[in-house]
Amino acid sequence: MALVYDEHRLHFSLVAGAENKTQPLPSNAQLLPGNAAVLRSTAVETVYGVELVFSGGLFGHFTQTIVFDFGQRPLLARKVIAELGDLKMQERVQVLREKLTFNR
């Protein structure tokens, strides 16, 4: 598993699932070995657990993509969004974004 979106990479990090803390990871891990996320494995299925941690102290819109590689193609990717700020400010920013998109 890996985080791939560079712009907001410093705000997100990966942590092995709570049940699998045997492998220490740096506090800002961007890559998680698959075996660190295995919660249980049988002949029929493997269950993975991973925590995505967000840290941010300022207003803004933060995005990240987490990619899961299970050793076969295709890969699985999931986009994650964190919005910080009060609702009124977020609505105003959305209106401004729409105007900027329209003006391009």
Can you give the pLDDT of all 104 residues of the chain as single tens digits? 677 766 777 788 887 655 545 555 666 777 777 677 778 888 998 888 878 888 877 777 888 888 888 788 888 888 988 888 777 877 887 888 788 866 55
Q: How many other CB atoms are there within 10 angstroms of residue 32's CB atom?
A: 24
Q: Where are the domains of the chain?
A: 2-103
How far is it, in rounded angstroms, from Cα 34 to Cα 5? 19
Give the pLDDT of residue 95: 86
Kindly state the DSSP code that residue 76 receives in the 8-state scheme.
Answer: E
Neighbours of 57 (CB within 10 A): 6
* CA 66 – CA 82 distance, rounded (Å): 13
Nearest-5° angle of CA 91, CA 57, CA 80?
65
